[in-house]
């Protein structure tokens, strides 16, 4: 049969997908830049980059759910809500890094 999957395999993949998405949000370098260097010239580049990273994150979360593995611990409550809604809205893009503390300090 196949190889045994280490216990932390999906935890690691989930963290990698989270970091990838957050780097895309921050317009930092990701693998996507290397795969499609010609896209950098296009105005929609960062939208595509974020979409790809979001899709990857949702895919890893879906696998974790199907395997009954905990995944929520790596995210804030608000981020878990965004992921469960699955739609990458402007709210996700604008408030992904927001915490309850930072929201209370506004206004």
- Residue 17 has phi, psi (to 5 degrees) of -65, -40
In the predicted structure, residue 68 carries a pLDDT above the cut 50: yes
Which value, to the nearest 10 degrees, does the dihedral of the CA atoms of residues 58, 52, 99, 43 take? -160
Model pLDDT, residue 32: 86
Greater confidence (40 vs 68) lies with 68
pLDDT of residue 105: 42
d(CA 86, CA 79): 11
The mean predicted confidence, pLDDT, of the chain is 88
105 vs 99, residue with greater confidence? 99
Residue spans of the domains in the chain: they are: 8-100
Residue listed under structure tokens 């990857």? 56
pTM summary value:
0.84
């Amino acid at each position: 049969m196949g190889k045994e999957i280490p216990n932390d395999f999906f935890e690691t993949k989930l963290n990698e997908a989270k970091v990838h998405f957050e780097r895309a949000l921050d317009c930092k370098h990701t693998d996507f830049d290397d795969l499609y260097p010609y896209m950098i010239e296009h105005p929609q580049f960062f939208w595509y980059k974020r979409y790809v990273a979001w899709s990857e994150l949702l895919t890893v979360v879906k696998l974790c759910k199907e395997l009954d593995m905990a995944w929520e611990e790596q995210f804030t409550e608000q981020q878990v809500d965004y992921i469960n809604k699955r739609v990458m809205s402007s709210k996700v893009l604008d408030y992904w890094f927001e915490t309850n503390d930072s929201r209370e300090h506004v206004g």
